[in-house]
Chains A and B, each alone.
Chain A
Amino acid sequence: MSQARHPGLKLGHEHDPGSGEVEALVFGFWIFMMSDLLIFGCVFATYVVMLPQVADGPSAAELFHLRGPLIETTLLLASSVTIGFALLETKHRADQRRTTLWLAVTFLLGAGFLFSSTHSLLGHLENGAGPSRSAFLSAYWLLVPLHALHVAVGCLWIAVAAAQVWIRGFDWVTTGGLLRLSIYWHFLDIVWIGILSVVYLGAMI
């Protein structure tokens, strides 16, 4: 075994102190993500079941447009690239300034996503398409805000992780944290692609 046995980017070497802990932490975090994925799975299933339950309210086809979601997709996918850069800087240069910079960019992209997402949700609310309107809209207002809430938590985490890198540098605790943060952030991308496909593109068909 030359390196820690976990999926994803390897930041340390076997002989580093704490490599065993990082291995277990990352492995455990993958299991946690799997459990979170099941939560989203149940919510997606609910959404699909509720699609016809519009109860005189607007249907998906009447409500959704692609402009907002495409902007949000661009922002979120770009943020996945930038967090990747942050980790590559950590691995190859161990440069606190550059890592923090890329984390800041990721944070801004995430915040942009949240801004756009909130904007369109508020628009729906103004048009009388709030969660109380119909079971379909209840399901929509669970799925999309749940993902946005995850992104908000991710932004908070990025801020904390950047502070830790800035203060403490790259010990195994901060790098282990960065690894898990990036798994979490990519996971949100995957869920978002699901939302884009099922909710927004699905409404266009």
Chain B
Amino acid sequence: MSLTDFIDALTGRMTLEALPFWKMVQNPTPENIVNGAIATSVAAILVLAAVAVLAVLTYFRLWRTVWFDWLTTVDHKKIGIMYIVLSFVMMLRGVVEANFMRANQAVGFDGGFLSADHFGELFTTHGTIMIFFVAMPFLSGVINYVLPLQIGARDMSFPVTNAIGLALTASGAMLVMASLLFLPFSIGGWTGYPPFTGKEYSPDVGPNYWIWAVTLSGLGTTLTGINVACTVYKKRCPGMDFWKMPLFVWASVTTAILMIFALPPLTVATAMLALDRYLDFHFFTTDAGGIPMLYANLFWLFGHPEVYILVLPAFGVWSEVFATFSGKTLYAYRTLVWATLSIAVISFLVWVHHFFTMGQSAGMNAVFGIATMLVGVPTGVKIYDWLLTMYRGRVRITTPMVYALGFVMLFVIGGASGILLANPSIDYQVHNSVFLVAHFHNMVIPGTLFGMLGAYSFWFPKAFGFMLDDWWGKLAASLWIVGFMLAFFPLYAVGLLGLPRRSVAYSEASYTPYTVVAMLGALVVLAALGAMFWQLYISIRNRDALNVYAGDPWDGRTLEWSISSPPPVYNFAVGPEVFARDAFWEEKRAGHAYQIPDQWEDIELPANSWLAPILFFSSFTLTFGLVWHMWWLVILSLLVVVGALVARSFVIDRERVIPADVVREEHLRWLKAVREAPSAPRELEVAPGNWGRPQSEAGVPE
């Protein structure tokens, strides 16, 4: 084997052209220079950020902490926090990309400043990132953190599997990030439709990045779904039957079931696309009998339930937020549960509405159109239930409530545009226009994202023991709401005027005013994100004044508020038993909260595991090797993956025991703090006078 052969085998398909600045250097046309400069700056920022993080960890000697407290942890609370951190990092990239696209379209009359390929990469990574690496990790994180606490459990059913789910998701995110350094990513959109993404029309490695990133995320999500479902079935504390579960738990378990059922079609679709590209199979090609439509069916068989995976956890969050800040029990709890379950079932019966225009019969379209409109019924029921929860409550407007009110207002508008699109004859007019873009952003931003940001504001004090600054929180929430409206309402109009989605340029001067307003909206959203980071910074700075160690800053209703903030590693010193739906609220009402337990026991917790970090690195190298056809790396990584799994099966699950004395001491110290905390009236809820022990309104008749 000659040296060049060896180097070829080593680098696979990677050449110098993969570097973001190569094209600009080789062929310095103005267009290449602009696009190359943008790509190179972003790559440089990424490298510098990575170096800075490594430097900080080394300088402050944090590697031991990172390894033992975070990377190898199997604690559901830390895994939840890591999911959310991942989500915020990816959100930053997604929002910046959105700004680039909006800026390009604002000057897109007869051609913007981005090349068509660059624009294509931007909308593909933006969609892929926002769905798979922002929304999914965020909701997995919130579920991970909150669900075991709400059902009175010490951890998930499968803590190591939980860590592996995070590892796979994170390595998928890392793969998308790697595509900034080694171009190109796919330009086939977040749905990756063949035959365009097949090897005939996309011979470059771009679609490979997309396939493997999405596959990793899908596998991680499947594991999370199994874990959540099993946890809810098997780990509820005594007394918590199904009809006493908080609505967030119902939403989570329904989401988990959707994950278990919806992700397999995605895995199959991406695997088949990969076989087409790598081994010359003919599933979705235009020759040899391939059926590209089959991909659309499989993808949306996943993709439609997926949008309910995204929104149901948010519905769960709203149910907690509205009840808590109205000081009332949730209106029509059982109806909300049935609505949640109905949405889950109907979500599997509507996938064809994503391709009304692909040529199936009118009768078929009518059936799926009607099924689609049906989804609006249980969703409408939920909206009314939340409104009626507020009705005659003493509503407190906190940051989570600002998000919630924005959600109710905007989500109804998005739902209405969805009902319009559910009508096939209207869909024929506006499909593939930015009207559709406006519609689905109208669902996922006020629905999912506001829900997750509301959850972040709501449960942050629980996770970290201090409040988030309320003024900056409300500012951020308002900017999100205003920014969203500015960015997407014009798209409804310009969509009706005919602007196709994913257009790098257009030749209709009348579109420009709308695209300019939309760009301003995108800037406001960027400002909202900035306000959130600033809020985090000043809250950390003022953490002593914002301390809520006593654990119940919002006059909470469910079990997670009955323990300290942050919760001890074992969650509950003594396993709780519940007798009512709003378990903690009823305890406060009856005056039974904060009792000293009669006896203390040793608590066994699962020990740390190195399996997840190993799978994180090896699944990244595996997929990176697959993307670039570096077969030596693929084989090596596969050996590591299989070896690690086999080796792990020989490790006896070690348990970490926390002695009863330690539990007792910690718990009594907390109870003492609770009794000493000045109890805050409702006016001080969001001020530094809230020490996590409110003057509870549980005694006030509802």
Which of A's residues lie within 8 Å of B, judged by CB?
23-25, 27-28, 31-32, 34-36, 38-39, 41-43, 46, 49-50, 53-55, 57, 131-136, 138-139, 141-142, 156, 160, 163-164, 167-168, 171, 173, 177
CB distance from B229 to the nearest CB of A (A): 6
B487 CB, min distance to chain A CBs, angstroms:
36
Q: How far is the CA of A24 from the CA of B269 in the complex (A)?
A: 31
For residue B362, CB closer than 8 A to chain A, the reply is: no
Stretch at the interface among B83-91, B273-281, B680-688: B273-281
Complex formed: what's the CA distance from A42 to B268 in Å?
7
Report whether A138 and B268 are in contact in the complex, using a CB–CB cutoff of 8 Å: no
B279–A131 touching, CB < 8 Å: yes
* B interface bracket (residues with beta carbon within 8 Å of A): 35 or more
Q: Per-residue 0/1 for B527-557: is the Cβ within 8 Å of any A Cβ (1 yes, 0 no)?
A: 0000000000000000000000000000000
B294 engages A138 (CB within 8 Å)? no
Residue pairs across A and B with CB atoms within 8 Å: the count is: 113
| B10 CB to nearest chain A CB (Å) | 28
Contacts of A136 in B (CB 8 A): 289
Known contacts A28-B158, A132-B280, A138-B283: A46-B288 contact under CB 8 Å = no
Are B230 and A46 within 8 A (Cβ)? no
- Whether B150 sits at the interface, judged by CB under 8 Å, is no
Q: Cβ of B281: which chain A residues have Cβ within 8 Å of it? A: 131-132, 138, 141-142
Contact B289 A173, beta carbon cutoff 8 Å: no
In the assembled complex, which residues on chain B have CB atoms less than 8 Å from the CB atom of A53? 289-291
Interface status of B264 (Cβ within 8 A of chain A): yes
A55/B288 contact (C-beta < 8 A), A39-B267, A173-B653 known: yes
- Interface segment, B307-315, B503-511, B644-652? B644-652
Contacts of B225 in A (CB 8 A): 35
**Are the CB atoms of A42 and B265 closer together than 8 Å?**
yes
By a CB distance below 8 angstroms, the chain A residues around B227 are: 28
Return the chain B residue nearest A163 by Cβ.
Answer: B650
Determine how close the nearest CB of chain A comes to the CB of B639; give it in whole angstroms: 13
| Minimal Cβ-Cβ distance residue in B for A32 | B226
What 10 pairs across the A-B complex have the smallest Cβ distances?
A53-B289, A135-B289, A55-B289, A38-B264, A138-B281, A42-B268, A28-B230, A132-B280, A39-B264, A55-B288
- B294 neighbours in A (Cβ, 8 Å): 46, 49
Minimum distance in angstroms from B284 CB to a CB of chain A: 9
If A24-B230, A160-B646, A173-B652 touch, whether A139 touches B283 (CB-CB below 8 Å) is yes
Query: Are the CB atoms of B222 and A35 closer together than 8 Å?
Result: yes
Q: CB within 8 A of A43: which of B230, B268, B280, B646? A: B268
Assembly CA distance A164 to B648 (angstroms): 12
**A27 vs B229: C-alpha distance when bound (angstroms):** 10
A135 touches B653 (CB 8 A): no
Does B260 reach chain A (CB closer than 8 Å)? yes
Q: Are B288 and A34 in contact (CB under 8 A)?
A: no
Q: Which of B227, B267, B298, B649 has the most CB of A within 10 A?
A: B649
**A135 near B261 (CB under 8 angstroms)?**
no
Give the residues in chain A near B23, CB-CB below 8 Å: none
Partner of B229, one of A31, A49, A55, A132: A31
Query: In the complex the two chains form, is A135's CB within 8 Å of B279's CB?
Result: no
CA distance A132 to B289 in the complex (A): 11
Bound state CA distance, A196 and B452, in angstroms? 47
Q: Which residues of A contact B275 (CB under 8 A)?
A: 131, 138, 142
Query: Across the interface, do B157 and A54 meet the contact criterion of CB distance under 8 Å?
Result: no
Q: How far is the CA of A34 from the CA of B685 in the complex (A)?
A: 47
CA distance A6 to B30 in the complex (A): 67
In angstroms, Cα B302 to Cα A35, docked, is 13
Residue pair B282, A138 in contact (C-beta under 8 Å): yes
Query: Complex: how many Å from CA A22 to CA B17?
Result: 53
- The answer to whether B264 touches A135 (Cβ under 8 A) is no
The interface centre, meaning the residue of A28, A50, A139, A167 with most chain B CB atoms within 10 A of its CB, is: A28
Task: Verify if B468 is at the interface (C-beta below 8 Å from A).
Answer: no
Distance, CA A17 to CA B652, complexed state (A): 14
Contacts known (A23-B234, A24-B234); A135 close to B268, Cβ less than 8 A: no
The 17 sampled A-B contact pairs (Cβ below 8 Å) are A34-B260, A35-B222, A38-B265, A41-B264, A50-B283, A55-B289, A57-B288, A131-B275, A132-B280, A132-B281, A135-B290, A138-B281, A138-B283, A156-B642, A160-B649, A163-B650, A173-B653
Bound Cα distance A23, B279 (Å): 41
List residues 650-669 of chain B with CB under 8 A from any CB of chain A: 650, 652-653
Task: A132 to B275: give the CA distance in the assembly, Å.
Answer: 10
Whole-angstrom distance from the CB of B220 to the nearest CB of chain A? Answer: 13
Identity of the chain B residue whose Cβ is nearest the Cβ of A23 in the assembled complex? B234
Q: Are the CB atoms of B260 and A31 closer together than 8 Å?
A: yes
Beyond A28-B158, A28-B161, A42-B265, 6 extra complex contacts between A and B, CB < 8 Å:
A39-B267, A41-B264, A42-B268, A55-B287, A138-B290, A173-B652
Chain A contacts of B283 at CB under 8 A?
Answer: 46, 50, 135, 138-139, 142
How many angstroms between the C-alpha atoms of A41 and B269 in the bound complex? 12
Candidates A25, A36, A135, A163; contact of B282 at CB < 8 Å: A135
- Complex CA gap A57/B288 in Å reads 9
The interface residues of chain B lying within 8 Å CB-to-CB of A164 are 649-650
Of all chain B residues, which has the CB nearest A20?
B234
- Cα A80 to Cα B60 in complex, Å, equals 57
A132 lies within 8 A of B282 (CB): yes
Answer yes or no: B19 CB below 8 A from chain A CBs: no
8 A Cβ contacts from B131-166 to A: 157-158, 161
**A137 shortest CB reach to chain B, Å:** 8
CB-nearest residue of chain A relative to B646? A160
* Bound form: Cα–Cα A100–B577 in Å: 44
CB atoms of B288 and A35 under 8 A apart: no
Residues of chain A contacted by B321 (CB below 8 angstroms): none
Q: Are B267 and A27 in contact, with the CB atoms below 8 A? A: no
Chain A: minimal CB distance from B242 (Å):
16
Residues of B616-661 whose CB lies within 8 A of A: 642, 646, 649-650, 652-653
CA A50 – CA B288 in complex, angstroms?
11
Nearest CB of A to B348, in Å:
11
- Which partner residue on chain B sits nearest A171 by CB separation? B652
Within the complex, the shortest CB–CB distance from A152 to chain B, in Å, comes to 11
Tell me if B260 and A133 are in contact (CB < 8 A): no
Contacts known (A42-B264, A134-B288); A27 close to B233, Cβ less than 8 A:
yes
Known: A135-B288, A141-B281. A28 touches B298 (CB 8 A): no
Could you tell me if A38 and B261 are in contact, using CB atoms closer than 8 angstroms? yes
- Mask: chain B, 285-301; 1 = CB below 8 Å from A; 0 = not: 10111110010001001
- A27 contacts B298, C-beta separation under 8 Å: no
| Chain A residues near B288 (CB-CB < 8 A) | 55, 57, 132-135
Flag if A31 contacts B282 (CB, 8 Å).
no
Within 8 A of A (CB), among B207-236: 222, 225-227, 229-230, 233-235
Q: Which residues of A sit under 8 angstroms from B174, Cβ to Cβ?
A: none
- List A contacts of B268 (CB < 8 A): 39, 42-43, 46
Q: Contact at B261–A46, with CB atoms within 8 Å? A: no
C-alpha spacing A57/B287, complex, angstroms: 12
**Which residues does chain A contribute within 8 Å of B404, judged by CB atoms?**
none
Q: Which residues of A contact B653 (CB under 8 A)?
A: 173
Chain A: CB-nearest residue to B653: A173
